[in-house]
Amino acid sequence: MGIVNKDELVRGVAERSGLDNGQAKKAVEATLEEITKQISGGNEVRLTGFGKFSAVHRAAREGRNPRTGESMQIAAKSVPKFNPGAELKKAVQ
């Protein structure tokens, strides 16, 4: 077990799809860019069996500075979220 980086992912896509590395890299990058574009635009991306990508709004809240212990206000923001699908969960078990 280990960490798979983007280049290794591209090689795996190329091998499984029959594309050359350049084409696979373009396909992987285009997919990631489109997912990013859609969730940053407020849409969900659902890949049946794999999972759902979305953006979730986090409300403003009070927190503490870990160095000083002083109270501070943490601004509201949206963060990306991924919910795995049933097939992905089953494959990982």
DSSP secondary structure letters along 35-71: HHHHHHTT--EEETTTEEEEEEEE--EEEE-TTT--E
Quickly state the pLDDT bin for 17 (edges 50, 70, 90): very high
With 80 as the cut, is the pLDDT of residue 34 above it? yes
Q: Which fold has domain 6-92?
A: HU Protein; Chain A (4.10.520)
With 90 as the cut, is the pLDDT of residue 41 above it? yes
What's the pLDDT score for residue 55? 96
- Nearest Cα residue to 53 out of 65, 41, 61, 45: 45
With 90 as the cut, is the pLDDT of residue 56 above it? yes
* Residues 52 and 85: beta-carbon distance below 8 Å: yes
